[in-house]
Amino acid sequence: MSSQRHLALVPAFNEGRNVASVIRDIHAQLPEFDVVVVDDGSTDDTVQQAESAGARVVRLPFNLGIGGAVQTGFRYALEHGYDYMVQIDGDGQHDPAEVRRLMRTMERRPEMDMVCGSRFLRGSTDAPLYPAPISRRTGIHLFAFLLRRIVGPKISDPTSGFRLYNRRAIELFARDYPHDYPEVEAVLMLHHNRLDMCETRVRMFERGGGQSSISAGKSLYYMIKVLLALGVGLARRRPVIESGEPPAVAAERAL
Amino acid sequence: MTDRIQLLAIVGALALLLIVLELVRRRRFLERYALVWLACGVVLLALAVWRGALGFVADLLGIAYAPNALFFIAVGFVLVLLLHFSLAVSRLTDQSKLLAQRLALLEERVRRQERTSSDDDAEQPVFERAGSP
């Protein structure tokens, strides 16, 4: 494994209070990982904090939302030839030590293209269950239920962003990644492109600060939007385009 | 159709056509977006002037009062235009996302090269070398 290159992607939007400690934690726990922070147009000192903590920083000129920020990370990983990329949120919710668990799962099952850290799988460890508010948990379980109908019985936590990707998944998502609330749709995209994924149990912290990409008031909008995306994703014959075909994004298509 | 409502329809359609043409002439309006507007103005003007056609369309649609058919068609055009704009906005959103991402990645690359070249005390400016493959 020594010749392979690993990237830790930290998407951050106004996480000046947490991002430095997250980066230092990654450096301490995961010395073989390069750290890149994608700053999603923050208006606080996120960039300075990240740079002084020793991370590479990709600065988006304006706020793209979590999907656009994470896709920037996939493009970075693709351009710089990384074999594995793990996403660790900038708010301190994901514990870098738990990446080892994702890595072990990937090593044990090399046919997997994505290993997703789940808060809801029950395992042998005595880690506490993630204390999400009941409204959000309901949504998560609804998505999990729907996804299980579509992609099979391996999904318990479809909104977790704590994910390890291999090269094939990086290539797929660098080309096309959902816009607003990407995690659920990304599972569906993997399935449609015949890539495989599995989950492994992880411990997560409560958010250290900053703003969640899903505030309480937006929960309903979030659910409806993701349900629409799931339905439309099912209706697409091939959601992602093979190389040589017209791109999937609206951007490249003439009206 | 009373003369008054016909006059109103003709004036309205003409005004629409003239405004669109004038905006295109001043380059405020890209032709590709103007085309739908022009088609809208031409059809509305034709129906407003030519009563027989409007009556025929109204009969076809089962509308008793012919001028209502004109409004019906106008609303249809408005919907098409709105759809057209939503498509355009979606495209622009996606394009600006792509641009922002490429810009950010390039900027990171340039800044890193600048840092290493200033460490090496290189003489060439960075931007010239950044373009070479």
Is A255 in Cβ contact with B87 (below 8 Å)?
A: yes
pLDDT at res. A129: 54
Is A58 in Cβ contact with B107 (below 8 Å)?
A: yes
Q: Which residue has the higher pLDDT, A127 or B72?
A: B72
CATH node for A6-254: 3.90.550.10
Predicted complex ipTM? 0.79
Percent with pLDDT over 70 in chain A: 80
Provide the angle, in degrees to the nearest 10, between the axes of the packed helices B3-25 and B31-49: 160
- The closest of A113, A229, A139, A223 to A178, measured between CA atoms, is A229
Nearest to B108 among A56, A250, A251 (CB): A56
Q: Which residue has the higher pLDDT, A137 or A155?
A: A155
The chain-wide mean pLDDT, for chain B, equals: 83
Residue A241 has pLDDT above 60, yes or no: no
| Residue of A39, A42, A64 to mutate, interface with B, max B Cβ within 10 Å | A64
Residue B22 has pLDDT above 60, yes or no: yes
Residue B55 identity (one-letter amino acid): G
* pLDDT level of residue A165 (50, 70, 90 thresholds): very high
The chain-wide mean pLDDT, for chain A, equals: 83
Interface residues of A toward B, Cβ cutoff 8 Å, are: 38, 56-62, 64, 68, 71-72, 75-76, 79, 179, 249-251, 253, 255
Q: Tell me the per-residue pLDDT of B3-12, one tens digit each, with 9 for 90 and over.
A: 888 888 899 9
* Residues forming a β-bridge with A204: A94
pLDDT at res. A238: 54
Which residues numbered 28-87 in B keep a CB inside 8 Å of some CB on A?
32, 84, 87
Q: Which residue has the higher pLDDT, A143 or A112?
A: A112
Average pLDDT over residues B54-73: 85
User: Would an 8 Å CB–CB cutoff place B115 in contact with chain A?
Assistant: no
For chain A, the structural domain boundaries read 6-254
Is A57 in Cβ contact with B94 (below 8 Å)?
A: no
Nearest to A64 among B88, B97, B112 (CB): B97
- Cα A185 from Cα A165, distance rounded (Å): 15
Q: Tell me the per-residue pLDDT of A55-111, one tens digit each, with 9 for 90 and over.
A: 999 999 999 999 999 999 999 999 999 999 999 998 888 999 999 999 999 999 999
